[in-house]
Structure 1
């Protein structure tokens, strides 16, 4: 699961990735986002300060570490 949130947007935007971890979200307004990636059995990954411009396309490299948030 990938979740994008922005201080300028009260909604969070979540999407489930495909088998290779890819996803496409075309309805995000331009702005600054935080992205959180989660998968059972792995520690969550977060990145803040991601700038999305109008008609922009971003690729974010994510590497999840085995384990859970509790370990």
Structure 2
């Protein structure tokens, strides 16, 4: 019997998928979880010209998240 993928965290799903690489249902669930995450930004191929700007934004978000964790 398969686990309840929707109840699993992304970390748990990742571990499961690494052990069950052919389980397309689990892969679909983790993709949907990633797509639903408001902290993940999706970029278009034409955004490659903006890579330095995008990278700086990413670094700032990571630094802000780190500071927030330290302050909790």
- Normalising by the smaller structure, the TM-score range is under 0.3
Structure with bigger gyration radius: 2
TM-score (norm 1): 0.22
* Greater strand fraction, Structure 1 or Structure 2: 1
Relative contact order, higher structure (CA 8 A, sep 6+): 1
* Greater helix fraction, Structure 1 or Structure 2: 2
